[in-house]
Structure 1
């Protein structure tokens, strides 16, 4: 079945005009019919570099596949590929909504051709899998750079590590840099949250999991599905159009979590959804003593702008950066 998302929204313009779209399950990988997209396989870390990912996985080069984690999206493994450590992600087939499963897989590739320090890099992806790697519950496989086993969710809530002002500011600045880059290429993530931000061994944040993302075509109205309700912008909850400002709302909730190490909301999901839209419910700031310092008051002001009910009133990712830099120059929380 062809992708439900047009190939022009997944590939850079210098690639997709030469594609021969046929009946293969993937518009990106034609090797099951004797054709391949002419994107070279690449070694990592500069040995053989290209800004492009590959639609061919050289399965014989895959070694030592070990499980790392799993969830509703599928499963992630650590593996060796062409002599380097990589992350292998199998996107799960949803029996209840097969179309949504396929959309999620292709959405994972919206940023595949982009390269940035704060975005996890895609190496290769395909829906054509040899029999000895076949998994009936999987609709596709993606190879990505291996960042590590830690994400911000684990750092915020699952360990006793100190998360002081310098550290959460570095983390939030990393996320803002990643968003600025994605938005400059018309990619909206739509599921920014601590669990979707990996932290490398060098303590650098990298945005991952693009299964809800959209590539915004110029002049094209788009609607979004999926995402995490606690971080979802009110205009998306109301079914309105998507813009990069939806990611800024999610960034604001994530920044609040980094500062407070608390859960943004408690109580029934449907009550929270209604209250966010109808009563402008947001995580607590005024009652939280951590926001009483000079830095805290500046944070409070920035958060209020990020999670404004009006998307046009939120700062862009570019505008976030000087505000975060200003926070470094005042008394810490």
Structure 2
């Protein structure tokens, strides 16, 4: 594969000693713009280097063509709550191609880190801020879906925080919208990547495994779609509800039998997956004061077992806007 650059004409230097995170497909490093070209953003950016074991997939011409088609869409996206991608660089090496994404850098870190910090410090989240966070994510997700894109791997690790400053309020942005995880899952023709790399707690039942509830065998599909993203967003919003009350106990309930799991101890990842796939359990949404009842209802509308009963991202955004009034 030849050298290729898709997107901005800028040049950058990646600082290997400044790793700022890692994800399902690669590692993120802080980088600096060395030649701006047509780039008009900040001098400090983030560069994601795709793990070498996945680049062989992209070296296949057919797979790369699919990937490139999505990238051309992603690079054109500009939205207040979606991390901006600027370019993709493809550089051949002796052992295979090296793929790197260049995107905006947000020193505020991820929502996962923010939630863990609040849990460890026993800090409570203001209800109005939980509503605003949810609006930010629903707004970004709705925009993706309006552009016929699904995320497929939405979880707190893939939500970044832009800190307040210079008159700007704090805001959340959805990251990892490149879709490479989805393409890899399709290529592998199994859900092993999904199960191993992605947190089961944010994946919908139809992704975790096909199973039957209440004798309805026609509702499941293992193909990620817009309603899959909505379940994931609902799971993130449930985390925010727990941050409001400080009660981070994760409880699952079977909607048919009423059986409850997770009250005695926290379920492990595989236990959680089995509870959802085998027993048909769904997260319990508790909403004691000061949780806004409308926000809790929005979460319940996202965490519907049957795909067609979930809200769309656009419908969710309208309900959340009403919560903010």
Q: TM-score, normalised by structure 2?
A: 0.70
Aligned residue for 2:282, secondary structure, equals: coil
1:191 paired with 2:187, answer no
Which residue of structure 1 aligns with residue 319 of structure 2?
Answer: 323
1:99 paired with 2:57, answer yes
Q: Which has the higher contact order (CA 8 A, sep 6+)?
A: 2
Contact 1:166 1:328 in 2 (8 A): yes
Which residue of structure 2 aligns with residue 234 of structure 1?
Answer: 205
1:247 paired with 2:229, answer yes
Which residue of structure 1 aligns with residue 102 of structure 2?
Answer: 143
Unmatched 5+ residue regions in structure 2?
37-42, 165-169, 184-188, 211-220, 252-265
Aligned residue for 1:188, secondary structure, equals: coil
Shift of 1:76: 1.1
CA distance in 1, matches of 2:306, 2:94: 44
After superposition, the Cα gap between the structure-2 partners of 1:100 and 1:138, relative to the gap in structure 1 and judged at 3 Å, is: closer
Contact 2:150 2:225 in 1 (8 A): yes
CA distance in 1, matches of 2:14, 2:295: 46
Shift of 1:259: 1.5
Shift of 1:213: 4.2
Unmatched 5+ residue regions in structure 1?
1-23, 25-29, 40-52, 215-221
1:62 paired with 2:31, answer no
After superposition, the Cα gap between the structure-2 partners of 1:64 and 1:276, relative to the gap in structure 1 and judged at 3 Å, is: closer
Shift of 1:325: 2.1
**Which structure features the higher share of helix residues?**
2
CA distance in 2, matches of 1:243, 1:72: 19
Aligned residue for 1:158, secondary structure, equals: helix
Contact 2:152 2:225 in 1 (8 A): no
Shift of 1:114: 1.3
CA distance in 2, matches of 1:276, 1:116: 34
Which residue of structure 1 aligns with residue 294 of structure 2?
Answer: 298
Aligned-residue Cα RMSD (Å) equals 3.4
Question: 1:158-173, aligned counterparts within 5 Å?
Answer: 158-159=117-118, 160=121, 162-173=124-135
Which residue of structure 2 aligns with residue 90 of structure 1?
Answer: 49
- 1:122-177 CA-partner distances (Å, limit 9, x unpaired): 11112215xxxx69697311111112241111111124465211211111111001
After superposition, the Cα gap between the structure-2 partners of 1:183 and 1:294, relative to the gap in structure 1 and judged at 3 Å, is: same
Shift of 1:223: 8.9
Shift of 1:112: 2.8
1:155 paired with 2:114, answer yes
Residue in structure 2 matching 1:80, options 12, 16, 32:
32
Shift of 1:89: 0.8
Aligned residue for 2:222, secondary structure, equals: coil
After superposition, the Cα gap between the structure-2 partners of 1:136 and 1:208, relative to the gap in structure 1 and judged at 3 Å, is: farther
CA distance in 2, matches of 1:112, 1:223: 28
**Which structure features the higher share of strand residues?**
2
Shift of 1:321: 1.5
- 1:256-293 CA-partner distances (Å, limit 9, x unpaired): 001103364632433322321343322332xx4xx134
1:120 paired with 2:83, answer yes
Which residue of structure 1 aligns with residue 163 of structure 2?
Answer: 201
Shift of 1:252: 0.6
CA distance in 1, matches of 2:132, 2:182: 24
